[in-house]
Amino acid sequence: MASSNKDVKDPIRVVITGAAGQIAYSLVYQICSGEVFGKDQSIILHLLDITPMMGVLQGLIMEVEDISLPIVKNVIPTDNEETAFKDVDVALFVGAMPRKEGMERKDLLSANVKIFKSQGIALDKFAKKSVKVLVVGNPANTNCYILAHYAPSIPRENFTCLTRLDHNRAKGQIASRLKISPDLVKNVIIWGNHSSTQFPDVRFSTVVVDGKETSVYKAIQNDNWLKNEFVSIVQKRGAAVIAARKLSSAMSAAKAICDHMRDWWQGTKDNEWVSMGVISDGSYGIEKGLVFSYPIHIKNGKLSIVQDLKLDDWSREMIDKTQKELIEEKNDALTATSSQ
């Protein structure tokens, strides 16, 4: 799989967990094609999954070979955490225990604590200290909290969880309502948990309609829709996809992972932000240390929370609600860690 391009940069190592799953299947091509880290950035891909999935991973490797992508230097399939996390620059935690019918949230948290505790310890021990971490597997915020808890030697600002899919869904709903392209919608915010308590906020968003930039509220002229139906659609979109497809979002999740990492790698435009779950520094009155989705600006690989956005009573109430759920999840997860 060696590349012959002389201008290609030395390879970075990227690990994907849950690599035999359907999100990873959509994700691998986008990463290996140069969409995320650049067409001149060669890659060594580490694919981690459980032992029974090793045969499936061989099939995935055959496909990567058959696509003949020039930046792919090597693909390493493994069921071993040391091999998976050794010297990685980027860690994409896609794998998690899915919620099964009749499963209580505490049972789900307990199963995931076990996974993310083990992987956190391995990440801490074997990955580069500069590793950029993205947790996708649900419950993503709390899984990220546990992972970071067990990888104390990696800087706190290197841990993120995925709320870009919710961000993209919010943009898509506004664009659809106005019959414009989603790239004409900017600065939506997802606050809080990647769950049905998240707060999709467009009070600071702008759109370009007929060549003119205007606020979303002015363009849509229906505050009731924006405060009720729009919020509900975005909050419940994942469940709606499952109901329709009988499978969870994969293609859109993979695209959101790529958007998240590309922006982290390459930066956001001035005066523009994206939504990412990060470890709270106390901004907007959120408990310090909680993994919470904020508006994030990125420059030279450094994430910063956009400050001084004014919150009205309604948005404060929405943010408090999602924070309350996250604190409960965190406490349940910490209880589960002490019993393991």
pLDDT tens-digit profile of 29-66? Answer: 999 999 999 999 999 999 999 999 999 999 999 999 99
Question: Within this chain, do residues 219 and 169 fall inside the same structural domain, yes or no?
Answer: yes
3 has a pLDDT exceeding 50: no
Looking at the structure, tell me whether residues 141 and 152 fall in a common domain: yes
Is 7 a known ligand-binding residue?
Answer: no
What tens digit of pLDDT does each residue of 60-84 get?
Answer: 999 999 999 999 999 999 999 999 9
**Strand, helix or coil for residue 276:** strand
pLDDT of res. 309:
98
95 and 127 fall within a common domain: yes
Taking only the tens place, the pLDDT of each residue in 200-244 is 999 999 999 999 999 999 999 999 999 999 999 999 998 888 889
Look up the pTM and report it: 0.95
> Do residue 139 and residue 214 come from a single domain?
no
C-beta separation of 182 from 172 below 8 A: yes
Asked if the structure places residue 1 within a domain, the reply is no
Residue 331 labelled as part of a binding site: no
Same domain, 93 and 216: no
Predicted confidence band of residue 99 (pLDDT cuts 50, 70, 90): confident
Q: Which H or E run includes 71?
A: none
CA 190 vs. chain centroid, Å, equals 12
164 appears as a binding residue in the annotation: no
**Domains in the chain: how many in total?**
2
Interatomic CA distance for residues 2 and 6, integer angstroms: 11
169 is in an annotated binding site: yes
Residue 338 lies in a domain: no
Average confidence (pLDDT) over 256-282: 97
Same domain, 141 and 206: no
* pLDDT level of residue 6 (50, 70, 90 thresholds): low
pLDDT, position 2: 47
Class of residue 40 by CB neighbours under 10 A (exposed 0-12, middle 13-18, buried 19+):
exposed
Residue 14 labelled as part of a binding site: no
Mean pLDDT over the full length of the chain: 94
Task: Please report whether residue 85 resides in a domain.
Answer: yes
Among 105, 130, 161, the domain boundary falls at: 161
Could you say which DSSP state residue 261 is in?
Answer: H
Q: Is residue 194 annotated as part of the catalytic site, yes or no?
A: yes
**187 annotated as a binding-site residue:** no
Q: Are residues 270 and 325 in the same domain?
A: yes
Residue-number span of the structural domain to which 217 is assigned: 163-330
Q: Are residues 238 and 322 in the same domain?
A: yes
Residues 140 and 29 in one domain: yes
Catalytic residue among 46, 149, 194, 260: 194
* Domain boundary pick from 134, 161, 188: 161
22-32 vs 251-266: helix crossing angle, rounded to 10: 40
Local confidence band at 151 (pLDDT 50, 70, 90 cut-offs) = very high
Where residue 91 sits, what CATH number does that domain have? 3.40.50.720
Residue 7: inside a domain, yes or no? no
Q: Is 177 annotated as a binding residue?
A: no
1 pLDDT band (50/70/90 cuts)? low
Residue after which a domain boundary falls, among 109, 137, 161 = 161
Residues 215 and 255 occupy one common structural domain: yes
Same domain, 267 and 199: yes
Residue 41 lies in a domain: yes
Specify if 339 maps to a domain: no
Residue 336 lies in a domain: no
- Domain co-membership, 147 together with 85: yes
CATH of the domain at 226: 3.90.110.10
Domain-located, residue 142: yes
Could you read off the pLDDT of 9-26 as tens digits, one per residue? 999 999 999 999 999 999
* Alpha carbons 199 and 193: distance in angstroms, whole number: 8
